[in-house]
Amino acid sequence: MQGENLTTWSFFFLEGFSRYPKLEIVLFVFSLGMYLITILGNSTLILITILEPRLQTPMYLFLGNLSFMDVCYTSASIPTLLVNLLSSQKTIIFSGCAVQMYLSLAMGSVECVLLAVMAYDRYVAICNPLRYPIVMNRQVCVQMATVSWVTGCLTALLETSFALQIPLCGNLINHFTCEILAVLKLACTSSLLMDLTMLVVSVLLLPVPMLLICISYVFILSTILRISSAEGRSKAFSTCGAHLTVVILYYGAALSMYLKPSSSSSEVDKIISLLYGMLTPMLNPIIYSLRNKEVKDAMKKLLGKMSLHQTHENL
C-alpha cells in the first residue's frame, strides 16, 4: 500500500476502549473523577505557592512548576478521552492529534528533568544546609526551571516533527490518545532516524535523570544516617519522602511504557498510559500535602480567607 504522511490525513480514529463497550461508562466516570481531582488539587497547590509567603522557597517553586505541568499534561489528552468514551464516532482531527502528541511528549519530558532538579534541591538542602540559600538562590532556581521546560519542549518538538514525516498506512490509532508510539505502529516502513531519535531522547530523559536522582539520594541517605537525633532524621526523611514517592510512581510507569518490547500487548499499553497520564498527576498534590505541615497550614489559611470573604458577601 502506498504510504501517506501524517499530514495527509484530515482526521484519525481512536480505538480506545471500544472493544469493551460495557466498560466505557465506568471508565468515563472513573476518568472524569480523576481528572477533576487532578485539576482541583494541582490548581490549589499552584495557588497557595503563589499566595503564601512562607512557601516562596526553591522547593515550592519547583512544586508549582510540577503542578502546572500536570494540569497541562492531563488537559492535553483526558478531555478527548472523556468525549470519545461517550461517542460512537471516536475521531480526532489532524491538528488536534499533532497538538496532543506534542503536549504529551513535552510535558512528560519536562517532568523527567524537573524531578531530577528537585532531587538536586533536596540534596543541597540536606547535605549542604548552610550553603543552601546561596547555591539555590532565586535566580538559579528560575534558570533551572527554565532549562527543564526548554529541554522538554525542544525534544518533544524534534520527536513530533519526525513523526509527522513518516508514511502511514492507515488512520486507525489503537489507543485513546495520539500517543506517539501508537501512531508509529501505523508506519508503512520503519524509520532508522525516528527510531534513533526516540532511543536517544528516551535514554537522555529517562535513565540519565533517574541516575542523577539515585546519586542525589545516595548522598542524602548517607547524610541522614549520620544525624544523631531521631527527630532530626525523621524531619530530614519527611522532606524527601514525598518527592521520592512521586519519582517511583512516575519513572516506574514511564520506563514500563517507553523501554518495553515493541511487541507487547496494546491493551497493556493503554493501561500503563492511563496510570502514567492520570494517576500520577492526581496523586502528586495529595502526596505533597499529606505529610507536609506547611502546605496543610497554607491550605487551611486559604480556605479560611475564602470562607471569610463569602461570609462578608452574604452580609
Across 106-114, average pLDDT: 92
> Which of 28-67 are b and which e, b meaning 16 or more Cβ less than 10 Å from the residue's Cβ?
beebeebbebbbebbebbbebbeebeebebbbbbbbbbbb
Q: Are residues 45 and 294 in contact, defined by beta-carbon separation less than 8 angstroms?
A: no
Average model confidence (pLDDT) across the chain: 83
Q: Which residues of 87-104 are buried (b: 16+ CB within 10 A; e: fewer)?
A: eeebbbebeebbebbbbb
Instruction: Indicate yes or no: pTM above 0.75.
Output: yes
Q: Is the pLDDT of residue 166 over 50?
A: yes
Choice among 69-73, 142-146, 224-228, 293-297 with the minimum mean pLDDT? 293-297
Residue 205 · residue 111 · CB < 8 Å: no
* Of the candidates 305, 312, 288, the residue with the CA atom closest to the CA atom of residue 45: 288
Asked whether the predicted pLDDT for residue 1 surpasses 50, the reply is no
Confidence of residue 66 (pLDDT cuts 50, 70, 90): very high
Give percent above pLDDT 90 in the chain: 29
- Please indicate whether residue 269 or residue 195 has the higher confidence score (pLDDT): 195
The pLDDT assigned to 232 comes to 76
Residue 245 has pLDDT above 90, yes or no: no
For residue 28, give the nearest of 71, 90, 70 by alpha carbon. 90
Residue 9 has pLDDT above 80, yes or no: no
Residue 205 has a pLDDT of 83
- In angstroms, rounded to a whole number, what is the distance separating the alpha carbons of residues 11 and 298? 46
Contact 213, 247 (CB under 8 A): yes
**CA of residue 195 relative to chain centroid, distance:** 23
Q: Which residues, in sequence order, are CB contacts of 166 under 8 Å at separation 6+?
A: 5, 6, 184, 187, 191, 194
> What's at 204, amino acid-wise?
L
Residue 103's Cβ-side half-sphere holds a number of Cα atoms within 13 Å equal to 20
pLDDT at 168: 81
pLDDT at 259: 60
Please give the average per-residue pLDDT across 302-315, as a whole number. Answer: 64
Cα 260 from Cα 254, distance rounded (Å): 10
pLDDT at residue 33 in the model? 93
Helix (H) or strand (E) holding 170: none
